[in-house]
Amino acid sequence: MEIHMEYYLVISTIMFFAGIYGFITRRNLLAILISIELILNSVDMNFVVFNRYLFPEQMEGLFFSLFAIGISACETAVAIAIIINIYRNIRNIQAKNLNQLKD
Amino acid sequence: MEYSVLILLLPFLSFIALGLLGTKLKPVVAGSIGTAVLGICALLAYATAATYFSMPRMDGVREAITLFTVEWLRFTDTLSIELGILLDPISVMMLVVITTVSLMVHIYSLGYMHGERGFQRYYSFLSLFTFSMLGLVVATNIFQMYIFWELVGVSSYLLIGFYYTKPEAVAASKKAFIVTRFADLGFLIGILILSYYTNTFSFDVLNAGDASLFSKAAGTTFMGCSVMSWAMALIFMGGAGKSAMFPLHIWLPDAMEGPTPVSALIHAATMVVAGVYLVARLFPVYSMETPEVLVLIAVVGAFTALYAAVVACVQTDIKRVLAFSTISQIGFMMVSLGVSGMGGHEGLGYMASMFHLFTHAMFKALLFLCAGAIIHAVHSNEMSHMGGLRKYMPVTHVTFLIACLAIAGIPPFSGFFSKDEILAATFEFSPVLGVVMSFIAGLTAFYMFRLYYNIFWGEESRHEHTPHEAPKSMTMPLVFLAAVTVVAGFIPFGHFVSSDGTAYTIHLNWAVAGASVVVAVVAIAIATALYRKKSPVPDRMAAAMPGLHHAAFRRFYMDELYLFITKRIIFNCVSRPIAWFDRHVIDGFFNGLAYLSQRASYAVRVIQSGQVQQYAYVILLGTVVIAALVLWLL
Amino acid sequence: MNILSLFVLIPVLTLCGLLLCKGDNIRQIRTIVATGASLLLVLAVGLVIAFLNERAGGNNADMLFTANAVWYEPLNIHYSVGVDGISVLMLLLSAIIVFTGTFASWKMPFQQKEYFIWFYLLSVGVFGFFISLDLFTMFMFYEVALIPMYLLIGVWGSGKKEYAAMKLTLMLMGGSALLLVGILGIYFHSAGAGSPLTMNITEIAKSSVMPVELQRWFFPLTFIGFGVLGALFPFHTWSPDGHASAPTAVSMLHAGVLMKLGGYGCFRVAIFLMPEAARELSWIFIILTGVSVVYGAYSAIVQTDLKYINAYSSVSHCGLVLFAILMLNQTAMTGAVLQMLSHGLMTALFFALIGMIYGRTHTRDIREMGGLMKVIPFLGACYVIAGLASLGLPGLSGFVAEMSVFVGAFQETDTFHRIFTIIACTSIVITAVYILRVVGKLLYGGIVNEHHLELTDAVWYERFSVIVLIVAIAGIGLAPLWLSNVIQDSLVPVLNQLNF
């Protein structure tokens, strides 16, 4: 059975919107972070898939996804650091409590 | 006669010097400088007068000489203010009057103001006043006159308020300035109208009798009167303010709060006749272009003379009596100008007015200076604190009596001659007015002798210490002025001053003169009967007419009326609402604007909740909407 | 180097010098500011002399001492400077007031260094404005002059200072928003088809291609924009609060010079560049300014705070400036410029004296003071002189200005102008009322407060600044002819514009 590009895309789309849904609805910062990872991973997947199917002789998509993975790792590290700091300050990590910046 | 410039310059320099040095000078030094300067000025003024009047007439007319002029400020191509010195009969006469009286007052003040705090300041203000007054009379153009007009106003303000710790003096000075300032507004607008239509400020041009000058204004009317009438009437309003004509007279009685020599100089002899001088200065214009305004002047003058004479009969403060008497006498001068015509015998009123101005300046200054000596002796202004002073103050007594006789119009004192000319001119104009003026002349004699008897005769009131005659520095001016009062009537005044500059020989109109002497004598007799000894009759008369007496005593409630207008209407009904409007409506509008934008920003702020997820949701929706739009539109 | 650029350079250098010195070294700070201020004054006097020499030498160019440097090519923005007689006089006025203001703030309670830094930044804006010939540069300096005011009032002020500072800044910024639209409007119609757009005032005036339909839009915007700063009724309400809260020297500079920026701008930009609309629409503004002349004076009568009285009096006097400009004839405009000079000097004198009195009595409420003439005769006498100048005593500056305005205004013959001229004339009476009321209450009478008996009279730096101002006021009042000649000559280009 031949695996079409669309199959990958469907899965990545599902992942993407699951991520979005999670980002908007989850209350916990960690869960939100995980949702962001889902979104990023879906995008990575798209990169790889497009590269593999559309431009097999080039490598940019792969490299880009590697980049994205690296960056998301950094981002996660920073985000977790921030979350820990938030936890230290307000003793929870509920997103609705974080509205101090508006003032 | 180029040295006449010095007459102006010296007092100015003395003002600057005394004002700047102030208390660094010893009082004696300051006083001597001021007096010495004025002495020189007086000599120069006499020399100028002698030279001017001995110059030959041109075609029988005394010429006006413009000694020099400098351009001071240019408005338009044709209108510019020039400062200069104009010598003509009336300005030369005024130079003599002002310097003489001022010199006397300077000398007198050495004694009167001795030991006062601010002695130096006093002399510097006196110099300023003298400078401004001299500048006023020699003005070559109406705007120069206005400049010095304002300056005399301010020096009068400063001098009335000389005792600045006394609330009444401060209030009086303020009142004097504001009332005259209001009149000056009329003067200014009058000047603006006049100068716009004639394109000149210069007296020479205005008085040249060139009818074409006024042609531009011909046919222009405003509210039924021609603009020229408006202009001249408004200019007269300025004069009426300075000369205390009804209803702008209210400042003058209060101005008596100033030191008495100041009252003698400013509020009796010189500044208050500035209005008369102004009308006289523009007399050809009044006479040729706007005779109807002259009638107005005559009516205002006559009414003022009557009003002030009536009020003077019941006042008890001796300076107030003199103040009302001054107002009344200036009314005489105004009437005289009002009834006068131009040239020859027609111009009798003009000449009489100037003559009366001259004699009045001398004897009224004398009266005030006597009053000063009396106040100096008894430390009070009230008649009830005086009485029987003739024994203690012989010189003052005699000089005061001379002045009283002069103002009452008893020959051979100077007042008789000048007042008689006025009455003659009035009778020629209208017998009714003549009778009224004769009656007022009788009133004058009555109240002056009421004053005289109350001060020098009657019961002696208790004094804390025996009153004594004033020092030499004060009695000398009295004697000098009394001497002038005695002889001034014999000056052939018409040869010096007349409406058109030709020589005019005064002929006494014996009918009028005889009648007026009789009236004066009767009035004096009544006063003698009533006041020579303590008598119950005056009180009974007052009790018989309580309303009239009280009204006259309160000066017919003019002050109350003014207070009502200024305090109630201007202050409470105009200024307060405007200030409130400013703070609450206009400012409220801008504050409201600020408030609204603040509310609006609060309303918008709700969107910026700070909830990241909310933002993300909005971003998502936005993306979807944009995507949908793009798809749909493409 | 161009002499005019020095006017910007000296304050900038002073400012840099202040930045370098230590905040607690008062002596050093004073040396720097005194040097800067004196240099400016000398420079201004020198400029006047140089200007008169040039004119006497027959140089009849509209603008003298011009210099030009491209600043931003694509929009044709230049740093372009030049002066005529009016701006020379304005520069002199500003220099005198900066000079005296510096001495009036010789002693500040705190942070003197920072205070002077903002103060000199403000003066950079003021001087820059008066020398600019380029609309953009002019607008930029205008803004530079406005912003420091916020801090100067907000930090060093008194009373409701934050409110006042905010109000003043916002209202003036609102004005400059309108102004910016006006200036852009002028810019985009500054040259005929084919030639490049320009910001240069003289060039715009020369080409004058702006159609009258557009002028009708942009003239009111520009006029109101500048008018807000010139206390145009009803946009004047920043002035009482702002002046009352500002520290002494800032009030002086603000009322003395900054409000003149408004009048100068109205005249130099609004009327000079859009003469047709000025002729058409002047009646609206004549009503507004005529009202403000009387309105300010009446409001001043009932105030009890010295600074409020003076602020309302400024509304009245500055109203007269705009009123005179709108008469659009030579005499009245000369009067307007004279009135700007006169009002600048005398209001600065007033504010200086009020500051000195406030520094001693710690109150500005006239009900709590009285009889001060006896304890502080020097300040009292100077206050009387300032008052007399304000009510238009001949021999002091106010008279000359007012008379020129009135005579000029009277040359317009129609009933409308006549009525408003007479209304404006009545202000001389009302002015006398409020001035004498204050003088009477504050200086005369008995001492109200026992503590005031121990007050000390002015010290040397106070005397110095007061005397300089009085000499200037008396100078204008005694010998006004050369001033009015200089002004009248400089008005010729404007009048040529107005007569199409």
- With CA atoms as reference, the chain B residue closest to A26 would be B613
Q: pLDDT tens digit string along C148-161?
A: 889 888 888 888 88
Looking at per-residue pLDDT, the higher value among B503 and B40 belongs to B40
CB pairs under 8 A between A and B: 28
A18 touches chain B (CB under 8 A): no
Q: Give the amino acid at A51.
A: N
| Phi/psi at B605 (5° precision) | -60, -30
Q: Would you say the pTM of this structure is higher than 0.90?
A: no
CA distance B8 to B137: 11
Q: Which of A50-64, B36-50, B521-535 has the lowest mean pLDDT?
A: B521-535
Q: Over 80: is that where the pLDDT of C409 sits? A: yes
Q: Over 90: is that where the pLDDT of A18 sits? A: yes
Tell me if C313 sits within 8 A of C390, measured CB to CB: yes
What pLDDT was estimated at residue B461? Answer: 67
Tokens of C148: 């420091």
Residues B617, A24: C-beta atoms closer than 8 Å: yes
Q: Among B611, B615, B623, pick the best mutation site for testing chain A contact (most A Cβ within 10 A).
A: B611
Q: Over 80: is that where the pLDDT of B389 sits? A: no
Task: Tell me the longest C-alpha to C-alpha distance in chain A.
Answer: 58
Q: Which of A95, A100, A101 sits opposite B613 (nearest CB)?
A: A95
Collect all residues of chain B within an 8 Å Cβ-Cβ radius of residue A95: 611-613
What pLDDT was estimated at residue A69? Answer: 92
Q: How confident is the model at residue C207 (pLDDT cuts 50, 70, 90)?
A: confident
Q: How confident is the model at residue B456 (pLDDT cuts 50, 70, 90)?
A: confident
Predicted complex ipTM exceeds 0.95: no
Tell me if B473 sits within 8 A of B399, measured CB to CB: no
- The conformational region for residue B556 under phi > 0 = left, psi -120 to 50 = alpha, else beta, is left
Domain ranges, residue A87: 5-94
Q: Over 90: is that where the pLDDT of B57 sits? A: no
Distances B235 to B188, B192, B286, B400, B545 between C-alpha atoms, Å: 7, 10, 11, 36, 39
Mean pLDDT of C455-461: 82
Q: Over 80: is that where the pLDDT of B502 sits? A: no
Residue C313: CB partners within 8 Å, gap ≥ 6?
C296, C297, C300, C347, C350, C390, C431, C434, C435
Three-state DSSP state, B319: helix
Collect all residues of chain C within an 8 Å Cβ-Cβ radius of residue B579: 298-299, 301-303
Hey, which chains touch C, using 3+ CB pairs under 8 Å? B
What pLDDT was estimated at residue B610? Answer: 72
Mean pLDDT of C353-368: 86
Mean pLDDT of A12-32: 90
Q: How confident is the model at residue C231 (pLDDT cuts 50, 70, 90)?
A: confident
Which among C334, C176, C333 is positioned nearest to C262, based on CA atoms? C176
Q: Do the bridges between strand C77-83 and strand C64-72 make them parallel or antiparallel, or are there none, so unpaired?
A: antiparallel
Q: Among C169, C302, C382, pick the best mutation site for testing chain B contact (most B Cβ within 10 A).
A: C302
Site of tokens 């309670």: C109
- Our CA angle for B152, B158, B164, nearest 5°, is 165
Tell me if B586 sits within 8 A of C237, measured CB to CB: yes
| Residue % of chain B over a pLDDT of 70 | 99
Q: Over 80: is that where the pLDDT of C429 sits? A: yes
- With CA atoms as reference, the chain B residue closest to C239 would be B587
What pLDDT was estimated at residue B462? Answer: 64
Q: Residue A80 belongs to a domain with what CATH number?
A: 1.10.287.3510
If one counts the domains in chain A, the total is 1
**What sign has the CA pseudo-torsion C354, C358, C361, C363?**
positive
Task: Tell me the longest C-alpha to C-alpha distance in chain C.
Answer: 76
Collect all residues of chain A within an 8 Å Cβ-Cβ radius of residue B620: 20, 24
What pLDDT was estimated at residue A19? Answer: 92
Q: How confident is the model at residue A9 (pLDDT cuts 50, 70, 90)?
A: very high
Q: Over 90: is that where the pLDDT of B613 sits? A: no
Q: How confident is the model at residue C500 (pLDDT cuts 50, 70, 90)?
A: low
Q: pLDDT tens digit string along C10-40?
A: 989 988 988 888 877 888 888 888 899 999 9
Q: Over 90: is that where the pLDDT of B625 sits? A: yes
Least Cα separation, residue B588 to chain A (angstroms):
28
Tell me if B237 sits within 8 A of B186, measured CB to CB: yes
Residues C425, B574: C-beta atoms closer than 8 Å: no
Q: Which of A58-72, B202-216, C328-342 has the lowest mean pLDDT?
A: B202-216
Mean pLDDT of C55-62: 82
Instruction: Report the run of H or E that residue C277 belongs to, with start and end.
Output: helix C275-302
Q: How many helices (H) and strands (E) does chain C have?
A: 21, 2
- With CA atoms as reference, the chain A residue closest to B610 would be A99
CA distance B269 to B102: 9
Collect all residues of chain B within an 8 Å Cβ-Cβ radius of residue C391: 181
Mean pLDDT of B108-118: 84
Q: pLDDT tens digit string along B399-411?
A: 888 888 888 888 8
Q: Among A30, A93, A99, A100, pick the best mutation site for testing chain B contact (most B Cβ within 10 A).
A: A99
Q: pLDDT tens digit string along B516-575?
A: 888 888 888 888 877 777 777 777 777 777 777 777 777 777 777 777 777 777 777 888
Q: pLDDT tens digit string along C289-338?
A: 988 898 888 888 888 888 889 989 998 999 999 999 988 888 889 999 99
Q: How confident is the model at residue B596 (pLDDT cuts 50, 70, 90)?
A: very high
DSSP assignment letter at B417: H
Three-state DSSP state, B39: helix
CA distance C41 to A83: 62
Q: How confident is the model at residue B611 (pLDDT cuts 50, 70, 90)?
A: confident
Looking at per-residue pLDDT, the higher value among B348 and B220 belongs to B348
DSSP assignment letter at B103: H
Packing angle, helices B274-281 and B89-112, rounded to 10: 170
Tell me if C56 sits within 8 A of C487, measured CB to CB: no
Tokens of B16: 């600057």
Residues A24, B611: C-beta atoms closer than 8 Å: no
Q: Over 80: is that where the pLDDT of C381 sits? A: yes
Q: Over 90: is that where the pLDDT of C445 sits? A: no
Mean pLDDT of C245-271: 88
Average pLDDT, chain B: 85
What pLDDT was estimated at residue C180? Answer: 92
Q: Which of C167, C407, C436 sits opposite B178 (nearest CB)?
A: C436
Q: How confident is the model at residue B464 (pLDDT cuts 50, 70, 90)?
A: low
CA distance B46 to C167: 65
Query: Is A15 part of a structural domain of the chain?
Result: yes
Provide the CB-side half-sphere exposure for A46 (13 A, CA). 14
Q: Give the amino acid at B81.
A: I
Q: Which of B608, B617, B620 sits opposite A102 (nearest CB)?
A: B608
Tell me if C197 sits within 8 A of C278, measured CB to CB: no
> Chains C vs A: touching, with 3+ CB pairs under 8 Å?
no
Query: Is A99 part of a structural domain of the chain?
Result: no
Residues A100, B610: C-beta atoms closer than 8 Å: yes
Mean pLDDT of C122-141: 90
Q: Among A17, A38, A94, A96, pick the best mutation site for testing chain B contact (most B Cβ within 10 A).
A: A96
What pLDDT was estimated at residue A101? Answer: 65
Least Cα separation, residue B604 to chain A (angstroms):
12
CA distance C484 to B306: 48
State the burial class of residue B65 (Cβ atoms within 10 Å of its Cβ: 0-12, 13-18, 19+): middle
Tell me if B365 sits within 8 A of B98, measured CB to CB: no
What pLDDT was estimated at residue B285? Answer: 87
Residues C303, B579: C-beta atoms closer than 8 Å: yes
> Chains C vs B: touching, with 3+ CB pairs under 8 Å?
yes
Mean pLDDT of B137-148: 90
Residue ranges per domain, chain C?
3-499
Q: B504-515 as b/e, with b when 16 or more CB fall inside 10 Å? A: bebeebeebbeb
- With CA atoms as reference, the chain B residue closest to C235 would be B586
Distances B592 to B585, B587, B597, C15, C215 between C-alpha atoms, Å: 10, 8, 8, 38, 31
| Residue % of chain A over a pLDDT of 90 | 50
Q: Over 80: is that where the pLDDT of A87 sits? A: yes
What pLDDT was estimated at residue B486? Answer: 86
Residues C404, B148: C-beta atoms closer than 8 Å: no
DSSP assignment letter at C414: S
Q: How confident is the model at residue C366 (pLDDT cuts 50, 70, 90)?
A: confident
Q: pLDDT tens digit string along C181-192?
A: 999 888 888 877
What pLDDT was estimated at residue A39? Answer: 92
Residues B164, C410: C-beta atoms closer than 8 Å: no
What pLDDT was estimated at residue C1? Answer: 66
A83 touches chain B (CB under 8 A): no
Q: pLDDT tens digit string along C331-355?
A: 889 999 999 999 999 999 999 999 8
What pLDDT was estimated at residue A103? Answer: 59
Q: C147-180 as b/e, with b when 16 or more CB fall inside 10 Å? A: bbbbbbbbbbbbeebebbbbbbbbbbebbbebbb
Least Cα separation, residue B290 to chain C (angstroms):
22
Residues A102, B605: C-beta atoms closer than 8 Å: yes
Which among B285, B272, B248, B291 is positioned nearest to B332, based on CA atoms? B272
